[in-house]
Chain A
Amino acid sequence: MLKPTARMSLRAGVASVAVASLAACGTASSGSDTEAATEIGDAEGTVSILAWPGYVEDGSNDPTVDWVSDFEEATSCEVVSKTYGTSDEAYQLMQSGGYDVVAASGDLTLRLIAADLVSAVNTDLLENYEGIFDFLKDKEWNSVDGVSYGVPHGYGANLLMYNTEVVDPAPTSWDVVFDSASDYAGAVTAYDSPIYIADAAVYLMTHEPDLGITNPYALDEDQFAAAVDLLKLQKESVGEYWSDYLKEIQAFESGDSVVGTTWQVIQNSISTGNTEVVLPEEGATGWSDTWMIASEAESPNCAYMWLDYIASPEANATATAYFGEAPSSEAACDFRDDCEAYHAGDEEYASQIWYWTTPVAECVDGREDVECVDYAEWTKAWQEIKG
């Protein structure tokens, strides 16, 4: 669905120059070594990992949830981890340095690569890389010019959830949260992030073909304005925006929300049994996360060992199951009994997902005659939509 573009490297190049010149002012540090390693040496003793909550669990939060201890015993690399709440917070933390490994979503990876904060990864050194689904490898959010910048971890779609008692007939289209949202005024919910504008764009791709949107992350002025207008209209029916899933689960269980975007794990956690999820006919946005290595990693060997370990079927299965997303390999499904619910390995299903990508001025769909609206503008527009 998404092809790596040659322009990526150009963009990365331009950005590195900017970063390097900034370093002189003392407001940034430039990466010195982004060459991939050629071999894995001895363990350095510790590895510092930055990840989404639930990605690096060592049993300290719940003794039964632990896949870090096995790694520590096997490699003698002690894991120190920090979690972050949004991709943007992660970017800020990576800038401040001190991490060897980061788990990054597609709306973060390109920024990390462009700012020289992560280095290329030599996947030949990783035993478990081969087993990973091909449709996750060498994508435009985890590679540049065919050079891999990390190992895919897990992926999922931003699905449509609805209350079966209220929303009837069962929806098959996103129009229940857009053009027909007023039917459920006050009980519609949406993901609270500028990246949600892409969900509106996915809808417009089908319903307003004249706009000519071919990629929801590459919107020119007119396309962007149409998406924003759609969301402003939607806002009148929205009860609340959600970003943490505790809030979302509670809202659907209590009936405060009856229809809106969700994740599969939220559906799995809802105990009242009156909700369903569907991947609507227009397709959906989603995420595919990547384990990356910091360009200034102090423990590159342990970092490689972690990347290999977390891609191994059992560890990958445990971690992705705990977080609630599809694993990255077929073999991992041997260790999970819910792969079907997540459509793991279903290439046809995966092809309907538009994975989060950072919107930048240079259109990611390859258009050269127009400028696309960048993420800073998306953020501004999102605030205006919320009013």
Chain B
Amino acid sequence: MQLGPATRAVLGIVTTVTLALIYLPLFVVLLNSFSTSESLSWPPPGFTLEWWGRALQSTGALEALGTSVAVALAASAIALVLGTLAAMALSRYEFFGKEAVNLLIVLPIALPGIVTGIALNNAFRTMMGVQLSVWTLIIAHATFCIVTVYNNAFARLNAAGTRLEDASMDLGAGLFTTFRLVTFPRLKSALVAGGLLAFALSFDEIIVTTFTAGNGVTTLPLWILQNMFRPSQAPVVAVIAVILVVVSVVPIAIAQRLTAKDAATVSR
């Protein structure tokens, strides 16, 4: 499309300003992590490295990080399997109730977290009589993560078409062989993207987590929430947040590379 230089400039400025606004609060968090104020007051009254020292020594934060990663990995794994199966069915077959299945997948993310949270809490505890644990948490997270994998896989399957698969079948490959050698390789990067989104969604989830995590199960958001209620822990939390943002760039960048490269080979 022919865009005038003025239009391009305006778009560039809007994007730059938006990004600046996105990073402004994070910049405040960064400053707070070095501030002598324990309550994140503005402007920071002084400079200290105390919080960074304490954060790096905090085994509670480290354990919570471990729990969060484990829960997010398990939930993403389940979501990857279920989301891929659903995407295959909905993109490759016509059947009655397709819309309903689609709605079913979207619902857990569309309904308010608190509704999902109390519904699952009630179901686990009073209907099934199960004690809340790390497993109930994983089940809850997997439920609302399915949609991200499903959508990515579905979009890719639709874009890729069925020609190659038909050819594979015509040449005598079975269903499973075709999936393994033809469908899956082309789906891989979409699954990486979907899985990463699922991971991120689970990693920062707090509302459903509050209602489905068992005794002793502390994910990072729960740890952060609890530490907001402890004396002089708020700046330590700011440190953790800064570290998370910096570290998260790596997996996002890798996934970005993978998806972009693959998407190019599949759809163009």
Contacts and interface: CB of A to CB of B under 8 A. Distances in A.
A173 to B, nearest CB: 28
A96 B128 CA distance: 12
A192 to B, nearest CB: 13
A250 B126 contact: no
B233 A250 contact: no
A59 B45 CA distance: 28
A250 B216 contact: no
B234 interface: yes
The 6 closest A-B pairs by CB, nearest first: A60-B60, A249-B39, A61-B60, A53-B229, A60-B59, A253-B41
Contacts of A45: none
Interface stretch (A77-85, A159-167, A367-375, A378-386): A77-85
Contacts, number: 82
A235 to B, nearest CB: 24
Contact of A271 (B45, B54, B214, B234): B45
Contacts of B236: 62
Interface in A323-347: 323-324
A62 B234 contact: no
A272 B39 CA distance: 11
A253 B215 contact: no
Given A26-B126, A98-B215, A53 B39 contact: no
Interface in B131-183: 131-132
Contact of B39 (A27, A63, A83, A269): A269
Interface in B192-229: 214-216, 225-229
Given A246-B40, A269-B38, A61 B215 contact: no
Interface string B226-245: 11111111101000000000
Contacts of A48: 215-216
A63 B57 contact: yes
Contact of A98 (B36, B54, B131): B131
B232 A269 contact: yes
A54 B226 CA distance: 9
A27 B129 CA distance: 9
A349 interface: no
Contacts of B96: none
Contacts of A322: 231
Given A80-B216, A254-B42, 9 more contacts: A53-B227, A53-B230, A61-B61, A61-B233, A98-B131, A245-B229, A265-B231, A269-B39, A271-B37
A99 interface: yes
A96 B125 contact: yes
B262 interface: no
Interface in A55-103: 59-63, 80-83, 85, 93, 95-99
A244 interface: yes
A80 B215 contact: yes
Interface string B33-73: 00011111110010000000010011111010000000000
Contacts of A271: 36-38, 41, 45
B58 A96 contact: no
Contacts of A96: 125, 131-132
Interface string B2-17: 0000000000000000
Contacts of A54: 229-231
B53 to A, nearest CB: 10
Given A26-B126, A61-B60, A269-B39, A83 B226 contact: yes
A168 B47 CA distance: 33
Contacts of A82: 215-216
Given A96-B131, A98-B131, A246-B234, A53 B215 contact: no
Contact of B229 (A62, A63, A246): A246
Contact of B58 (A62, A97, A253): A62
B88 to A, nearest CB: 38
A26 B229 CA distance: 35
A62 B54 contact: yes
A95 B39 CA distance: 34
Contacts of A269: 38-39, 231-232
Interface in A252-297: 253-254, 265, 269-272
B58 A60 contact: yes
B41 A60 contact: no
Contacts of A61: 58, 60-61, 227, 230, 233
Contacts of B234: 246
Contacts of B59: 59-60
Interface in A7-39: 26-27
Contacts of A60: 58-60, 63
A22 B27 CA distance: 54
Contacts of A97: 131
Contacts of B214: 98
Contacts of B42: 254
Nearest to A28: B126
Nearest to B216: A80
A36 B229 CA distance: 34
